[in-house]
């Protein structure tokens, strides 16, 4: 087999090697059916078992009680930016948003396009989103409070979630779902594009608390209502079957090979510590994020000049370290350390960084 590279892509991102091998082995005949899952009817019992297994694994891993429903949608987190206010806003109540960067701002803008009364409770725009805002002053009249749990581009992460005193939390967890343990009970809705930590692009995991479903307006288009997919077990129309199958395999790997979220979180903390400790130990590389708000998933860093950053990314790729270019909106470099990225990959990156300094520092 051709040598595989270390993948630090921000999404679509690294998948666990055992999962890729399993997909390869099951590709031509899925579990004795004589056909690929790519060819299989979404109405078949075989596929419905895969979908139900994926939903059950989501519930077990996140310790969701019977109040929560798991559905699989399309359109990525970007469609959820609109579906959340369409489905969960309440007449006469403002919707609350916390602005922590590029994706949080996009979510907010969709609510504004829909004509909702948007309250921005806090923002870290004043310091280029290099921190997570603290000491929120809540408006108890909010329909919900939306936040982005991990800011993929800016490299910040909520280390603990705000106490909303009963206001339903809504979160875009695209880039850190399944990376750590958290209490789901304050959340009315969680959504995550799968292509960072849970599977391939093409499917979005949505977790909705049942009391939120009573808010869904009757006059929404059928395909834009959460109730449509809850009532049809995500099978109202043809779902992205292959992507759901891969999510199921990733979650099986998380449960049965890694051993659950506590173990995954410990590994993720170890990986992030290796990289941040090295960045903080010298002065060629620097991380702009305040230490207490740094993301475990996306480590952003700068070199002394944009020219050196370009050179770094190109030379890293030649050494089998891919996906280290920062987002076009902010520049710099970024290493995404999602669940499937190994400790070995992070150590290889640090070794390369040391060698790059030796030659160019």
State the CB neighbour count (10 A cutoff) for residue 151.
28
Pairing of strands 187-193, 169-172: parallel
Please give the Cα distance from 145 to 152 (Å, whole number).
Answer: 20
Cα pseudo-dihedral 78, 326, 337, 209, rounded to 10: -20
Catalytic residue among 99, 158, 196, 248: 196
Q: Does the bond joining 12 to the residue before it have cis omega, within 30 degrees of 0?
A: yes
Q: Is 196 a catalytic site residue?
A: yes
Give me the residue label for tokens 């209502």: 225
Burial class (CB within 10 angstroms; exposed 0-12, middle 13-18, buried 19+) of 3:
exposed
- Active-site residue, selected from the candidate residues 99, 172, 176, 293: 172
d(CA 234, CA 71): 6
**286 to each of 219, 267, 298, 300, 334, how far by Cα in Å?**
51, 23, 14, 9, 11
Number of H helices, E strands in the chain: 10, 13
Q: Is 158 annotated in the active site? A: no
The yes-or-no answer on residue 172 being catalytic is yes
* Among 216, 236, 211, 218, CA closest to 226: 216
The one catalytic residue among 103, 176, 225, 325: 103
Tell me the catalytic residues.
103, 172, 196
């Amino acid at each position: 087999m051709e040598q595989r590279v270390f993948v630090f892509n921000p999404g679509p991102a690294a998948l666990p090697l055992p999962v890729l091998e399993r997909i390869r082995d099951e590709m031509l005949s899925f579990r004795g059916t004589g056909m690929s899952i790519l060819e299989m009817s979404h109405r078949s019992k075989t596929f419905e078992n895969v979908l139900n297994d994926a939903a059950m694994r989501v519930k077990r891993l996140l310790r969701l009680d019977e109040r929560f429903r798991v559905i699989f949608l399309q359109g990525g987190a970007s469609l959820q930016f609109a579906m959340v206010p369409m489905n969960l806003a309440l007449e006469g109540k403002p919707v609350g948003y916390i602005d922590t960067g590029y994706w949080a701002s996009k979510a907010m803008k969709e609510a504004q396009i829909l004509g909702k009364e948007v309250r921005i409770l806090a923002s870290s725009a004043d310091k280029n989103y290099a921190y997570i805002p603290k000491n929120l002053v809540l408006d108890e009249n909010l329909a919900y409070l939306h936040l982005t749990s991990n800011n993929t581009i800016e490299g910040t992460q909520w280390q603990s979630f705000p106490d909303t005193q009963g206001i339903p939390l809504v979160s875009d967890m695209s880039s850190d779902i399944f990376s750590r343990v958290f209490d789901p009970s304050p959340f009315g809705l969680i959504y995550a594009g799968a292509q960072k930590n849970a599977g391939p692009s093409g499917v979005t995991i949505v977790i909705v608390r049942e009391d939120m479903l009573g808010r869904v307006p009757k006059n929404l288009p059928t395909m834009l209502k959460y109730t449509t997919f809850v009532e049809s077990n995500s099978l109202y129309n043809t779902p992205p079957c292959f992507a759901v199958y891969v999510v199921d395999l990733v979650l099986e790997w998380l449960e049965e090979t890694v051993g659950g979220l506590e173990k995954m979180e410990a590994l993720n903390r170890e990986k992030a510590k290796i990289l941040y400790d090295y960045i903080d130990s010298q002065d060629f590389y620097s991380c702009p994020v305040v230490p207490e708000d740094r993301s475990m998933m996306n480590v952003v860093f700068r070199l002394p000049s944009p020219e050196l950053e370009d050179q770094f990314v190109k030379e890293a790729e030649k050494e089998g370290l891919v996906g280290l270019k920062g987002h076009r909106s902010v520049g710099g470099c970024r290493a995404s350390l999602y669940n499937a990225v190994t400790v070995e990959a992070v150590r290889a990156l640090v070794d390369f960084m040391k060698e790059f300094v030796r030659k160019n520092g």
